[in-house]
Structure 1
């Protein structure tokens, strides 16, 4: 792999390709990656899917739920392990913010142990957040 990273909006990203980047990134254990039908529902229910491809291969994805007017929840940020450290995650976040628009705030929940990454890229920590975990 030697080509440039190409970023784009892919509202029709398919579940198998999404599954592949979840596995390659290490995020699969924290997502229902073994259930293609559920991944497809996740994708179809998303308002914004920003991707990073290199030589046609999906190497990064940011999947977001947003109203494009006030708030955006970046639910999945995944970058293939062999492409981590190249600034892809930071750029996916920047592209997501640009696509969601300047009137929206961007929120995400960091996976345990990844908080330092978000602080390192300058994303502010929010002290007053609450969450119910999923039941299954």
Structure 2
């Protein structure tokens, strides 16, 4: 499969359309969804896309980083009909390189149960040193 990875900021509308074609569409809370997605696409430090030669959006990777020590992959998705073609792996690798590379940057993510095997294949392990402070309202829903 032919595709190119770009540093690119998506519009909220384009990202929401993308979510409808991936398994990422169920990772966000319903509360203030549109407003929060607009903030996400506007401010996330690492914003990568994978597109085919026709410009079709095949994959997205968002990450937050300090460009010195760590990278947190917040969003990684590939459209369902393109899973298994190395797009997710290529996006993660490029994000890691942009953040500073594997020799300097520790990479984290919160993986849903269906993605754990993918991240394990990348060489990631489950940490026991992560703390969470969560007091937000979170109503599960799926972007459709």
Q: So what's the TM-score if we normalise by structure 2?
A: 0.82
* 1:113 matched to 2:111: no
Aligned equivalent of 1:36 = 34
Moved more, 53-62 or 23-32: 23-32
Q: CA deviation at 1:27?
A: 1.2
Aligned equivalent of 1:18 = 15
Q: CA deviation at 1:32?
A: 4.7
Q: CA deviation at 1:85?
A: 0.6
Distance 1:130 1:27 in 2: 23
Aligned equivalent of 1:65 = 64
Aligned residues: 133
CA deviation vs aligned residue, 1:57-108 (integer Å, no higher than 9, x gap): 1111111111111211110001110110101111110000011113322111
Q: So what's the TM-score if we normalise by structure 1?
A: 0.87
Gaps of 5+ in 1: none
Distance 2:88 2:129 in 1: 24
* 1:133 matched to 2:142: no
Distance 1:134 1:26 in 2: 25
Moved more, 113-122 or 55-64: 113-122
Gaps of 5+ in 2: 138-144
Higher relative contact order (CA 8 A, sep 6+): 2
